[in-house]
Amino acid sequence: MVKVSIIMPNKNNARWLPKSIGSVLSQTYENWELIVVDDHSTDDSVKIIRELMDRDSRIDCICDPKVPFPLTRNLGFEHSSGKYIVFLDSDDWLGKEFLERGVENIRDGYASSFAVWFGGDKYRKFVFERGVFSSLDALKLKFRFRNGNTLLKRSIIEEHMIRFPKERRSEDAYFYSLYLAFSKKISVDDYVGFIVNRVGSSVSLSGISGLLETFKVYEKLFKVLEENEKKELVNVIRNNDFVFSVLIYLDSAPRKYKVQYGIKYFPNIVRFLLTSDFYMKDWALATFVDLFVPVKWLLRGW
């Protein structure tokens, strides 16, 4: 039974840590290690982590690291020893069969279906077709391949020296796009193995500042791809994941920037909406319309 390393960055998420770590403890697959990297939390996070460490020796903590988020994920990876890797945020959680199904079905990577939790009994599920797909399908956003719902191979990360960048916005897009660039086949599951928490989430999109940093991260990504003779993937990412990221940050930007950048990227977004197989196209359409007419909550309905 191979070991899986779960890397969990944390900062002041004491409210959700018991549920997040509890979802790891509840896994049907038992050969795992959980490395929590706590970034100088000022709440009860460290107390909770240490209490759980006393109960289960598979849990470890790197407390008060000398590097900031998102580099804490790299630090956790460097301290891990598993053949397979999961990056899980400390306010999200896993379905109990996630690791077992991932280890059983992984190719170059594994992606489960997922759900977004809005509180109470309000969820929105995204269930993908089960099967083996190309990494290009993932880059075209036919299914989600990001933190939490993916199982990765350590060998691919190490061989190609893939690490999270220092930027705090779109850092996951950078890391997972590079991972997919050096992968071929991804196993996709219809099992909902990951829950994204949207209640009091610690994630801050920061609107226009997040968008400007996103531009920087993608240019860095494109440069690395070109240096590794993966230039053909630049346009794929520019026409899909990049547009998705632009919409994410414009969604929380002030109205004047929505209009300004909505006009600038109008052709890119329209092409994306008309040609992509994006698994959240209804969200993308509502967000696009809202750049010019503030009706997203009416259109989304969730």
* Radius of gyration for the chain, computed over Cα atoms and rounded to the nearest angstrom: 19
Domain assignment of residue 202, yes or no: no
Do 244 and 185 reside in the same domain of the chain?
no
Query: Rounded to whole angstroms, how far apart are CA atoms 75 and 171?
Result: 15
Do 69 and 130 reside in the same domain of the chain?
yes
**What pLDDT, in 10s, does the model give residues 191-207?**
999 999 998 655 455 66
Do 280 and 222 reside in the same domain of the chain?
yes
Domain assignment of residue 178, yes or no: yes
Query: Rounded to whole angstroms, how far apart are CA atoms 154 and 162?
Result: 10
The closest alpha carbon to 130, from 191, 70, 179, belongs to 191
Domain that holds residue 131: 4-197
Domain assignment of residue 82, yes or no: yes
* CB-count burial class (<10 Å; 0-12, 13-18, 19+) for 79: middle
Phi then psi dihedrals of residue 187, to 5 deg: -85, 125
Which helix (DSSP H) or strand (DSSP E) does residue 71 occupy? helix 71-78
| Beta bridge partners of residue 116, listed in sequence order | 124, 196
Last residue in a domain, options 197, 231, 249: 197
Domain assignment of residue 67, yes or no: yes
- For residue 302, pLDDT beyond 80: no
* Local structure of residue 40 (DSSP, 8 states): S
pLDDT value of residue 206: 60
Domain assignment of residue 160, yes or no: yes
Domain assignment of residue 292, yes or no: yes
Domain assignment of residue 232, yes or no: yes
Phi then psi dihedrals of residue 109, to 5 deg: -165, 170
**pTM for this model (two decimals):** 0.94
Q: What is the CATH number of the domain that holds 129?
A: 3.90.550.10
- Sole residue written with tokens 């998420």: 13
- For residue 240, pLDDT beyond 90: yes
Do 102 and 147 reside in the same domain of the chain?
yes
Last residue in a domain, options 154, 175, 197: 197
Query: Rounded to whole angstroms, how far apart are CA atoms 110 and 132?
Result: 9
b/e map of 155-172 (b: 16 or more CB within 10 Å)?
ebbeeeebbbbeebbbbb
Do 111 and 35 reside in the same domain of the chain?
yes
Q: How many domains, the chain?
A: 2
Do 64 and 114 reside in the same domain of the chain?
yes
Do 35 and 144 reside in the same domain of the chain?
yes
Do 228 and 82 reside in the same domain of the chain?
no
The closest alpha carbon to 264, from 254, 276, 250, belongs to 250
Do 39 and 163 reside in the same domain of the chain?
yes
pLDDT value of residue 252: 85
Q: How many CB atoms lie within 10 A of CB 146?
A: 16
**What pLDDT, in 10s, does the model give residues 4-50?**
999 999 999 999 999 999 999 999 999 999 999 999 999 999 999 99
Last residue in a domain, options 197, 227, 257: 197
